Amino acid sequence: MRLTQTSDLWWKNAVVYCLDVETFADGNGDGIGDFRGATEHIDHLERLGVTCIWLMPFFPSPDRDDGYDITDFYAVDPRLGTLGEFVEFMRVARDRGIRVIADLVVNHTSDEHPWFKEARSNRDSRYRDWYIWSDVPEPDDPQGVVFPDAEDSLWEYDEGSGQYYYHRFYRFQPDLNVANPDVRDEIARILGFWMELGLSGFRVDAVPFLMEDVSRKEEAGHEQPESGEAADRKAQEAGLPDVHEFLRDMRAFMNRRDGSAALLGEVNLPYPDLRKFFGNDLGNEVTMCFDFIGMQRMYLSLARGDARPLAEALRERPAPPKDSQWATFVRNHDELTLDKLTEAERKEVFEAFGPDKNMQLFGRGLRRRLPSMLGGDMRKIKMVYSLLFSLPGTPVLFYGEEIGMAENLDVPGREAVRTPMQWTPHENGGFSTAHPSKFRNPLVTGEYGPEHVNVSAQRRDPDSLLMWITKLIEQYRGCPELAWGRYQVLETGSPALLAHRADIDGATVLAVHNFAGETVSCELTLDGLDDGKVLTDLLIDGTVEIGADGRVSLELDPYGTRWMRASEPELAPADAGDIADSQARDS
């Protein structure tokens, strides 16, 4: 393949790093993370190998939902800095070769947004139809509520105007009426404004909720909106615009402004329904979609010590359109949802990784990070991140994953994983010089606290998780086959092993992972390869011979991982044997 493709379609093999400005680094000592602090730590991300920063909401907000309740889409929250400091952050990131995308939260606003304040003040307001109103609450079902710990309905009575307004999320987040052309025009202005300031795209929040027929009980009674042909038909009957037409228009607008801009979509739907949000074969809607199903099956595989659930998901997962990509992840900033597992499967994962009710959320997910779920077993942890960077797709890291941060279960709800970044073993973990009482969320304590888990110490330890992930990123970026190639899940003869290969233009990379706590051997058949090539390890030192019939024998340690490239012997990467031969010749 031509290397130039990896820059033309940069998102296909990017390394995306999600950070919350408020909890990343405090640059002015007031206890709140800000753009000044984030800018001072961009070099950490460059050394790690990050190519794209995803910023969680940084807009003005009452901060009742960690910034997702927005009062102004065209400004920076004063607690986090100024617009000038945002531009400085963008300039430094660009200088380090790092793109930046940001959350696009246009499902709803805060109830303190000027649009909603005016909308509720007068039924004749120009902003009245920017939201969704009803004289009586339409039929709904508690199962359709996103946050069942806090809400029991999708409708809230507004005393001022005597009507009910619709809110898919919290009652203080009234849904925008995206069916209104004026609202869609305003969304385009928001996109254009931030793209002019340098953003390379957006992560679109809760894509399937963007446009719903809220008058129908069938729709309101689903945790996720109904999708597929039935939903499209209902929307047409209700006179609603097509959500896919809206996404196509949004993508076309971005392409006119910047042809390299990307949309990263949160679309938690079954694979057949999800593929429509790419734009099917055309790929003209969402550029990347998160693979929620693959993530959930991975945790089921980890709980069982059996790679087959993940292998099944990879075989089921449809190929994205040519210029689109899947986004893979170990966890994100929300609860670790397990909603696509069966009830019995979800119970298995709960028992393995979150047996206490305090570790669970909404009955469907976990509010924990990987290291604590795996009991701090570094073999397992390193294997999981090897999976992340070798599976076909674009890997997305949540801040702190690179050092193995854990959660603080004393923090309510989903914010248990949104604790201050741990930079040093010193006071406040190097996050801030302010008194901890001023922090939004308290630091993690105990064995995963900053005195034990921090960037500074791990940067100096060649065996640390930070250095392991840095190595994985380096090899991933050097293996475009993993992101661009046609992948195939191979038969291993062992339920504990996952083996897959990626091929493009005659180049092959093989990855094998052991989900068991014991040594496992296997024999693989690599069609199209023979003894004219060898497999050279990319993560450890070594070369493996391939038989004339394409067979290769491998052994993996407990929770072991191997990445190998197929090459002609004279073109294979150097290993220890080559170095020894060279030294012998020189002597």
Residues catalogued as catalytic? 205, 266
Q: With DSSP H G I counted as helix, E B as strand and the rest as coil, what are the percentages for the chain, rounded to 5? A: 35, 15, 45
- Whole-angstrom Cα distance, residue 550 to residue 532? 10
- Whole-angstrom Cα distance, residue 439 to residue 478? 39
User: How many Å separate Cα 148 from the centre of its chain?
Assistant: 23
- Whole-angstrom Cα distance, residue 222 to residue 302? 29
**What's the start-to-end Cα distance of the chain, in Å?**
40
Both structure tokens of 173? 């987040």
- Whole-angstrom Cα distance, residue 187 to residue 330? 30
E-strand ranges in 96-180 read 99-104, 133-134, 155-158, 163-166
Output b/e per residue, 275-301; b: 16+ Cβ within 10 A.
bbbbbeeebbbbbbbbbbbbbbbbbbb
Q: From 2, 15, 12, 7, select the one nearest 398 (Cα to Cα).
A: 15
Q: From 510, 486, 512, select the one nearest 387 (Cα to Cα).
A: 512
Q: From 496, 527, 529, 502, select the one nearest 514 (Cα to Cα).
A: 496
User: How many Å separate Cα 456 from the centre of its chain?
Assistant: 25
Sheet order of strands, 155-158 included? 133-134, 163-166, 155-158
Both structure tokens of 297? 């099956």
The torsion angles phi and psi of 497, rounded to 5 degrees, stand at: -105, 135
- Whole-angstrom Cα distance, residue 9 to residue 451? 41
- The 3-state DSSP class for residue 293 equals helix
E-strand ranges in 422-576 read 486-490, 497-504, 507-514, 520-525, 534-537, 543-545, 551-556, 561-567
The interaxial angle of helices 243-257 and 181-196, nearest 10 deg, is 30
- Whole-angstrom Cα distance, residue 245 to residue 264? 17
